[in-house]
Amino acid sequence: MSQTAPLHYKTDVREQYEELPYPYRDPEKEGDSFMSCDPISLTGLCHTGWAGMRDLRKGVRILIAGCGTGDAAVLYGEELLGTDSEIIALDLSSKSIEIAQARLKKRGLSNVTFHHISILDAPDAGLGEFDLIDCSGVLHHLPDPDAGLAALAKMLKADGMMSIMVYAQYGRYSVYLVQELMRKLMHANMTRQEKIELTQSFLNNVPEGHWITVNNSLFLEDIRFPDGSGLYDLFLHSTDRAYTVPQIYDWVEGAGLMIHQFYSSMADESLYTPESYNSDPKLTAIFKEKSTRERQEIAELMNGNIARHFFSASKEPKILAQFADDMVITYGPMQWLFTHLLAPFISALEGAQLGDRVSGNPRPFDLSPPLHITKTRHVIALMHAIDGKRSIGTIIADIAKASGDTPEQVRRDFELLYNEYRARQIVFLRHESIPPYKTGRDIIARMKAHQTK
Q: What is the CATH number of the domain that holds 60?
A: 3.40.50.150
The predicted structure's pLDDT at residue 239: 95
Burial class (CB in 10 A: 0-12, 13-18, 19+), 1: middle
Nearest to 16 by CA among 121, 78, 95: 95
Same domain, 60 and 199: no
Is there a domain that residue 253 lies in? yes
What pLDDT tens digit does each residue of the chain (453 aa) get? 655 677 677 899 999 999 999 999 999 988 767 777 888 899 999 999 999 999 999 999 999 999 999 999 999 999 999 999 999 999 999 999 999 999 999 999 999 999 999 999 999 999 999 999 999 999 999 999 999 999 999 999 999 999 999 999 999 999 999 999 999 999 989 999 999 999 999 999 999 889 998 777 778 889 999 999 999 999 999 999 999 999 999 999 999 999 999 987 655 677 898 988 888 999 999 999 999 999 999 999 999 989 999 999 999 999 999 999 999 999 888 777 777 788 899 999 999 999 999 998 887 766 667 889 999 999 999 999 999 999 999 999 999 999 999 999 999 999 999 999 988 888 999 999 999 999 888 888 888 888 887
Same domain, 118 and 258: yes
Is there a domain that residue 98 lies in? yes
Query: Cβ of 100: how many Cβ atoms within 10 Å?
Result: 29
Same domain, 62 and 93: yes
Is there a domain that residue 296 lies in? no
- Check whether the bond before 23 is cis (ω within 30° of 0): yes
Same domain, 75 and 118: yes
Find the farthest-apart pair of alpha carbons in the chain and give their distance in angstroms, rounded: 79
The predicted structure's pLDDT at residue 4: 62
Same domain, 118 and 226: no
Nearest-angstrom CA–CA distance, 218 and 225: 14
Cα of 398 vs its chain's centroid, Å: 35
Same domain, 138 and 197: no
Nearest-angstrom CA–CA distance, 44 and 52: 9
The predicted structure's pLDDT at residue 267: 52
The predicted structure's pLDDT at residue 367: 64
Last residue of a domain, one of 216, 235, 254: 235
Side-chain-facing half-sphere of 51: CA atoms under 13 Å = 8
Is there a domain that residue 65 lies in? yes
Residues 302 and 327 sit within 8 Å (Cβ to Cβ):
no
Same domain, 334 and 254: no
Same domain, 116 and 259: yes
Is there a domain that residue 3 lies in? no
Task: For residue 34, give its domain range.
Answer: 11-169+242-264+306-314
The predicted structure's pLDDT at residue 181: 97
b/e sequence 45-62, b meaning 16+ C-beta within 10 Å = bbbbbbbbebbbbeebbb
Is there a domain that residue 394 lies in? yes
The predicted structure's pLDDT at residue 268: 66
Say what the pTM is.
0.93
The predicted structure's pLDDT at residue 418: 96
Last residue of a domain, one of 214, 235, 256: 235
The predicted structure's pLDDT at residue 365: 67
Nearest-angstrom CA–CA distance, 296 and 259: 12
The predicted structure's pLDDT at residue 59: 95
Is there a domain that residue 6 lies in? no
Alpha-helix runs per DSSP H in 71-191: 71-79, 94-107, 145-154, 173-185
**Bridge partners, 132 (sequence order):** 62, 161
Same domain, 83 and 210: no
Same domain, 352 and 422: yes
Contacts of residue 392, Cβ cutoff 8 Å, sequence gap at least 6: 323, 324, 325, 326, 327, 328, 329, 414
The predicted structure's pLDDT at residue 425: 82
Q: How many domains does the chain have?
A: 3
3-state secondary structure of 431: strand
DSSP, residue by residue, 157-202:
EEEEEEEEEEEBTGGGHHHHHHHHHHHHH--TT--HHHHHHHHHHH
Same domain, 61 and 157: yes
3-state secondary structure of 328: strand
The predicted structure's pLDDT at residue 315: 98
Same domain, 78 and 195: no
Measured distance between the N- and C-terminal CA atoms of the chain, rounded to whole angstroms? 26
Is there a domain that residue 2 lies in? no
Per DSSP bridges, beta strands 112-115 and 156-167 are unpaired
